[in-house]
Structures are given as structure tokens and as C-alpha cells.
Structure 1
């Protein structure tokens, strides 16, 4: 016989409805708590995103604090097949006439041709079980069981400033660095432990303890250039970094033939590079707009839907927006032609969107570089006021 539930019918009371309402009433704090947790998670996520955008903004500000951002120099060559150049921030704006008379070359030694590069050298002479050759003070042990290929590998493994290879069954030694100072000299930085019937003599790298013209298929040489009529400027490499302060000239190794009959010419101009500063300012403007646009979206109230964004009414978010706008719109200093961001092409419209006139900025930077730079980089201790980048970086650093 099945059970029959009469509920409250017998008493005239709907007990199931009452119980359901009591359960809902008891669960209401739980629902409220879950809603509160959800809102807190949304708020937390929003501030995490704000923090990320402010962190990127601070990175952009860091670039604007550096004087190197504005003092950059560019070096242009009229003939890059002859010479290229780089200029540091401290270099003078000037033109340089560069004539290349010779380029730096490595030394190359070629030994005797052998029939079998894999055969042990014991068959070539009366060698000890172990022999020693020294290259640039690196002692290299050569066994009588070693082949020409083994010897080449051992020289390379020694990292002695020499590259070994086998070309048409000849052992070829080539200095790793160009210039006369890096050349191998028999008895000095190229030594065979057995001077009478040594490994290097047998391989043809030495002849009678010397490097002959037949062995030295290419001599080590220095590069030589003239700059603005100054002659006799040399370098062991094809790079000249000390001839002109702040400017490095890189000579193309194929610029001239090293037979003393040829020269090559190029003109190098060093000028201000405003492009680096322009890019840095544009990057700041873009990131500022990104951060402010995100904050606007998170503090918005939609009147049509009557819905508030997650940070709508948040006093911290509102103070943050106001302070960022104040930092970029307030006067940096009281005197001078350039004392606000607006004066150098950075403006805020009525909607709070920042724009950048790069032409106006470049013109100002060329007209009065120190004054423009100070708008961003000035320090109160030395200048009596703080530049915008210094102020904002300090604020963001404390905030984050």
C-alpha cells in the first residue's frame, strides 16, 4: 500500500510552500555572499588590468626620462659599399671624407700537399710518440698516430687564435683576427718542439724553422684610411673606433684591393636623430590613451541599460584619472618658450584623448633641444623643477 502525503490539506495550511519559503529565506545570505564574491572578483580583475596598463605606461615614461632618448645621433654614408658608421650620443654633428687605402686581412699559411689526409703522420717522418707544437702560447700535443685531419681538429679545439682547415690535402692555418699584430711568427708564437724534424716542418707549415713566401699565401695586414685629409690612420681590424671621438667607421673588407694601387672614397655625415625621441613620445601617447580609455570603460555608467561598470563610483579610480590628466596638462615650469607638453605638440582634447604632432615636436627639439628635453627630464635638485616624465614616473612608482 503506497504512502499518501496530505501536506497541509488536513489542517488547511500549505506547509510545503511555507517550508520552501523558509529554505529560500535561510539561503538568501548565501546568495548575497556569492554575489558579493562575484563582484569582488570582477573588481579585482579590473584593477589587475589597470595595473598592467600602468606598468606599461611606466615603461614608456622611463624612456622619456633618459637624455639619451633625445640626444641620439645618426651616421649616414654616401657609399656603404666602402664604409658604414655609427655615432654615439656624444659625437659632434659633422661631415667626414673617408678614403680607404687598404683593408685589414688575416694571415694564411698553406702546408705541403699530401696524398692521404687520414693516414697517420708516423709514415711521414721519425716522430716521437708525443710531439708538441705551440701556437699563441697554447701547447698542442700531436701523436705520431694522428692524421692530417686529426691535427687540424686539435688546432681548432685549442682555441689558439688560429683556424685550421684542409684544402686540396694541404693543411691551411688562418689567423682568427686580422692585422699585423695577430700574425704568426716562427719561433715566437709558432713553435715546434722538434726544430730538426718537427711536425710543422713535415707538414710544410715551416721551412727550415721559418715561414717562407711560398708558405705565406696571404700576409696579415692593417687597414689604413684618411679622414678629412689626415693621413696614416691605421687599425689592425676594419673597424676604426678611436680616430673620431664618438664615431665608429666600419670598412668593407672588399672596399679596395690590397696591392697599393687602389683607393675608395665615401662621405659620412653625423647629424641629430630626432626619430628615436619621436618614437618614444608616440609610444607614451599611445599607452596613455590605452590606460585612460580602459579606465573610462571601467568607470562608465550606461543610462540606457542603467548598468554601472565595475569601477563606477570608485574614488580611487577617479583620483587616478584626475591625477594622470593633471600630470600631462599642467605647466612644467613658469618661464621659457617650451614649458608645457602642448608647446611641443602633445595635447589633450575635450574627451581626454591625447594626440601628438610629431612635426611640431621635431621643430621644437631642433630649435631648443635643452629646453625641450628639460620638459621631460628635469630634476628638482638640479633644475629647480621636475619634468613631466620624472613626475609621472614617481607617481606611478608610488601607486603601484
Structure 2
């Protein structure tokens, strides 16, 4: 009896024939798998080659990146700042700073205001105080059940730049401490009573009133989130209140008045000029009053000027007064709300640390060229170059004795890259004028006999010391224009050198205009709200309130003085029409304005549909006879242009035709970088194309292997079936033979 098959995962073969059929099938399949093995070996070689290319790309990209740094004007013109006495001030600088020295004398440091209440019996039991008062222009209501800690929590919840804390005394007494969260006179705390006795019971204030934040003839209110929202929504106050301006009563209606409308009311009297301004650091609006002897011109009959932070009663328990930093720079008196001063000298930030009112603390602030940083940037280029060049040489070697070769030996791409690397040192700036620097060799670069890039640092430092502008001109892109209304903006690596290339304008940029219907100059019958929107307003809406009783001419004046609008649009009135024009030309200056009432005599005439729009158009024209694309007043050479791709100029004029010329010089760093980007560019570089090709080859091999493996699987199954059939047939034949032999033996 013969057994041939599989039982419980155990295979028995050849039992009938006595032949090891499994071994035969395995050997046959192994022979047929040889092409697959060769393909897997080929795949491994391709993957190894791809890995070397990826390393080449990474090192080439490092060279390109170092050159990208060197082509920046900020790199080559790097500056550093020092303070002779860091106890008095420290200094940091940006690329915008120019070399120079300044004598700093500090007489006063900026400080934040801090004040305390009078002693209170407890921090945790109800005080029994009632009333409403304002903190930095925001109302707070105190209930009889409030504790000192509860009042502190209410102050902190206002979020108005005042921090409240409870200080416990040794005998169980408690104090409420208020401190401004920012330094400077403009951030002095504003506390004013509205009703009740809570504020008086806390004992913060004395009885003397004066302007809270005043400088010269000007005084300022506290700041608010908006100039056009009602004062009621900003302060939490309601009803009306009065004050006098030079004997003329001004009524504040908290429900309808805004900072803008209040400024108009104050200015209408004539002796005080009121404007709404915006703090650029916080984007908050405040009222600024200007007039001689403001303290006597203004009479706060109802306390509203204290509630708005213009006047302030003295603090009875002051700890620290709000004050600006005061100092001189080369004898020029200056002041700052903070001890970090970044507006005194362009690109220079000073942090004031020590002051003396009697004998000002001194330090010499020096800004000088940061030669070390520039030299290190050149060293980084040399290191990146040598890392790449060394990698190519190491992996392109061939040993004539052992016949062993590197992975990149004979590789055409590596060879091409090595040739370009060898030529970099000799590359020159073709448009360099006589006497100008034109190559790396002139500033200390060279090559040794191994191909390594060398740098004579002393020679480079000498060039940077004696001819810093020449080194910058050698490496950086630069450009200039002729024509009164034409300005050079930038060029790119794709831009080619241009010499007095003509700029021809076929369409000058115009501003976006919204005009009202010609409804005449009839004064407003009732109040009106204009809604401004569009990209120039950050794609958010600005609500502009127009009080009753003013005409279109006065509306234009209000728009032009509004802190949120005046830098973006300008308004004018002529022949019964209100015109609002964007200050940014072309499509970037597009905006919308709509009214909450239909256009009619007695209002702005803008109407609910948004007035009559004349859309601004972008500049159009050519540079050097090549097509260019306009955006606003910017004209940029189109992608793919032979010479002007990426060259950008600004044309601010109104005439068309030939308006001037542009000259562009590509720096040596950009030229060298372009050579590297031919290989390392992630979109169209040689390594990207090669990587895509190798990846495709690997994918093709994987598909071929998979297909052949599937065929082999079927082939193996077929062979096993055929050998099994043969084995079964032999087994059956032997059984029959045995039976026949037995029968013959029986007959004997």
C-alpha cells in the first residue's frame, strides 16, 4: 500500500514510486526562480545607487543653501550692537541698523503704577459696600455681599490691564492692591466713581483731580477696543452725562455716542482739538485732546471725564507711580512707555536697566559691522562645498591594484557635478565694472591639489574691512531704475542681467472708488452707520457711526480722522457727492461700503446697495519688451521670460508709454546657487528626475517579480500534481503487480 498526500500539515511524497518528488519539484522551481533572483539583485543595486544620489542631493542642497544665505544683503551687511555698560542698558540690532555710536544717558526707568486701598477688616467676609465705579474705563458693580477677594476677582475679570490682589496684614487686616500690567504714563490706572460709596469706602482716592495722562498741551483718555462702538457698550455705563469745554456744555449719550462722535462734539467748541488715535502696539483707540491750559478749559461737572480716564483723582496710598522712561541719546531728550526702546534709532533696540535722576547713568551704544558673522557665512559655504566634493571623490575612486571602485565610479551625473564644482571657483560676475570685485579668487578663495576649496581668512577680512560694499555688490542681487515714478523692488535667481531695459506702461494702476448718489449736502436727519469691508480691512467689517446733524462734507472729515479708516481710505466731498477712495491702488485696494439706510437727501447717499463703484485696476506693461504681470502698482516679469522672469518694479505714476529703465545685476552667489539648483531643485532638478526614474525602475522590477512569483506558484502546484499523479499510478501498478504475482503463485 502506498501513501502519498498531506495529513495534518505533514507531507509524504514518493512513497509509491520511491522517488523524492518534493526535492525534484523544489530544485526545478529554484532553477526557474533564478531570473527573479537576478532581478532582486538588480533592485538592490538600484536602491544603493538611489541612496548615493539622495546623499549627493542633500550635500548639493547644503551648498545651495549656503549660497542662498550669502546672496542676502542682510548677511553681507550684518551688524552687531554693544553697550559699554550692560548694567545701564543692553542692546540688540537688526539688519536695518547702520554703523555708528550713541551716548545714552538714563535718568528714569519706566514703571507700572501700583496702589493700595485703606486697611479693611477682612479679605473673606462681606464688606457691606455698594456702588459702581470704573476701572480703566470699564464699569464694575459692588454688592453688599462682596468680600475684598470678591472685588479683586471682579477687577481681574474686566481684563482692562489692571491686576488686583489681596494683601493680608499681620493682625488680620487686609488691603486691596491694584497694579497696572504695563509700564508707562499712558498706562496709569484710571479709577472713577459712578454711584454709591464702594470706591470711597475702599479709600483708594484722594480729593485732588488732575489730567491723568498729559504731555505738554495734550491729554489722553484710557484706550478702548473700538472708536465706533457706543460708549455704553465699551464702558458698561448708560444714560447721559455732561461736561464743559471752555464754558460750553457737551452732553455724552452713552447709548449713541462713540469716541469718534465725542471727538467731533469737543472740537466743535473751537478751543480744544479732539482726535481719535490708535495705539499701534495694541490696536486700541483713545481720545487725545489738544489745547492750551486743558486743566482749566475742561470742567468735569458730572465725572464723565474721569470715567473716560481723562481726569483722575490722586491716589491716597500710592506705592509706585506710573512713569515713562526718560533718557537722552547724543543729547536728544526722549521718553518711552517701556524700558525696551526700539524706535529711537532705526534697527536698534535698547533695554534700559539703570537710571539716576540727578546724575544720569551712561553707556556708549555702538553699532558696527559684524565681520565675524559674515566670515562664518563664507566658511559655511566652503565647508558645504568641501563636504560635497569630498563625497564625490571618495566614492568615485578606483584602485588599479585591487580593481575595487567606489559606488559613483564612472557615474555620469557625479562626474558632471564634479566638473561644475571645479569651475565654481573661477566663475566671474560678467557685468562687473572695471575696478569692481568679480570673482571668489579676489576675496581669498582658492583650491588645493585635492580639489578642496580653501579660504584665506585674513584676505577675506581685509576685503570686508576695506571694501564691504564691494563684497556685497559681488554676491548680492542689485538693481536700479530711471524715471521719477519708477522704483526697483527685487529680482530672483531666474532674472538675467539687464542694462537700462525699457519699462513700458500700457495701463497705470488706479484706485478703487466708491461714490455716493448726488444727494447734496443736506445735514443728517438721523444717525447712520456705514459698514466698511474688504481685504484692505483684513476681511473684517468696520462699523462707522455718523451722528445726526452733519452733512456729507463733515462725513468726509470724520472718515479722514477715524483711526481705523484714515490710513486705508480717503474721503472727499464735491458737487453733492461723497467719494471714498482706497489709498492702495489696483485690486489689492478693493473694498466695500454700505449704509444701514437707503440713499436719500439727509444721509450719506451711499445706500444699502453700496454706492457707485469704480473698480481699481492693476498696472499693465512690459519690461525689456517681455510680458509682465501687474498687481496694484507692482509689475513683475512673467515666469518663463528669457531675461526678466522675477524682475519687479513699482510704478506709481499715471501716464503710459516708456516711463523709464531698469538695470539688474545678478550677484555671484545667485549664479553659483543656480548651478547647484540644476541638480538639487526638488521640482525639476537632475537628482529629482533621476530619483523618479530609479523609483520607476524599482516599481517595474517589483511588478515583474510579483507576476513571475505568481506564475511560479502555479508552476509548482502543477508539478506537484503531476508527480503525485505519477506516484499514484506507480503505486496502483505495483499493487496490481502484487495481486497478479499472488494469483500466479496460487495456481502453482
Rounded Cα–Cα distance in structure 1 between residues aligned with 2:62 and 2:145 = 64
Query: What is the aligned counterpart of 2:348 among 222, 237, 247?
Result: 247
Alignment counterpart, residue 461 of structure 2, candidates 362, 367, 389: 362
Between 370-379 and 277-286, the greater mean CA deviation after superposition = 370-379
Summarize the Cα distance change of 1:19–1:172 in structure 2 as closer, same or farther, 3 Å threshold: closer
Equivalence map 1:113-262=2 (5 Å): 113-122=119-128, 125=129, 127=130, 132-140=132-140, 142-168=142-168, 169-185=174-190, 190-194=191-195, 196-198=196-198, 200-207=199-206, 211-230=313-332, 232-252=333-353, 254-256=354-356, 260-262=357-359
Larger fraction in strand? 2
- CA shift for structure 1 position 37: 0.6
Q: Flag the 1:297–1:162 CA change in 2: closer, same or farther, 3 A.
A: same
2:410 counterpart of 1:313: yes
Report the CA distance shift for 1:41/1:264 in structure 2 as closer, same or farther (over 3 A): same
Aligned length in residues: 376
Query: Match of 2:498?
Result: 381
Correspondences of 1:249-288 after superposition (within 5 Å): 249-252=350-353, 254-256=354-356, 260-288=357-385
* SS of structure 2 residue aligned to 1:234: strand
Q: Distance in 1 between matches of 2:402 and 2:323?
A: 81
Name which of structure 1's ranges 43-52 and 305-314 shifts more when overlaid on structure 2.
Answer: 305-314
Give me the whole-angstrom Cα distance separating, in 1, the residues matched to 2:115 and 2:401: 86
- Aligned match of 1:336 in 424, 435, 457? 435
Q: Structure 1 residues 218 and 29 mapped into 2: Cα distance closer, same or farther (>3 Å)? A: same
Aligned CA RMSD, in angstroms, stands at: 3.0
SS at structure 2 position matched to 1:265 = strand
Question: TM-score, normalized by length of structure 2?
Answer: 0.46
Rounded Cα–Cα distance in structure 2 between residues aligned with 1:19 and 1:201: 106
Unaligned runs of 5+ in 2: 2-14, 169-173, 208-302, 304-311, 479-496, 500-662, 682-748
CA contact (8 A) 1:201 1:207 kept: no
Deviations 1:230-283 (A, max 9, x none): 3x322222233333344333211x433xxx434211122221111221121112
Deviation at 1:6, TM superposition (A): 7.8
Q: Which moved more, 1:296-305 or 1:51-60?
A: 296-305
Distance (Å, rounded) in 1 between the aligned partners of 2:176 and 2:401: 86
Q: Is the alpha carbon distance of 1:346 and 1:138 closer, same or farther for their aligned partners in structure 2, counting shifts above 3 Å?
A: farther
Which stretch of structure 1 is more off in the superposition, 217-226 or 323-332?
A: 323-332
Is 2:87 the counterpart of 1:81? yes
From 93, 99, 105, the counterpart of 2:111: 105
**How high is the TM-score relative to the length of structure 1?**
0.83
Sort the Cα spacing of 1:296 and 1:226 in 2 relative to 1 into closer, same or farther, 3 A.
Answer: same
Say which of 388, 391, 396 aligns to 2:676.
396
Contact 2:205–2:316 at 8 Å: present in 1 too? no
Question: How much has 1:31 moved relative to structure 2?
Answer: 2.0
The separation in 1 between residues aligned to 2:322 and 2:39, in whole angstroms, is 83
1:355/1:158 CA distance change after superposition, 3 Å: farther
Q: Distance in 2 between matches of 1:376 and 1:357?
A: 18
What is the CA distance between 1:35 and its match in structure 2?
A: 0.9
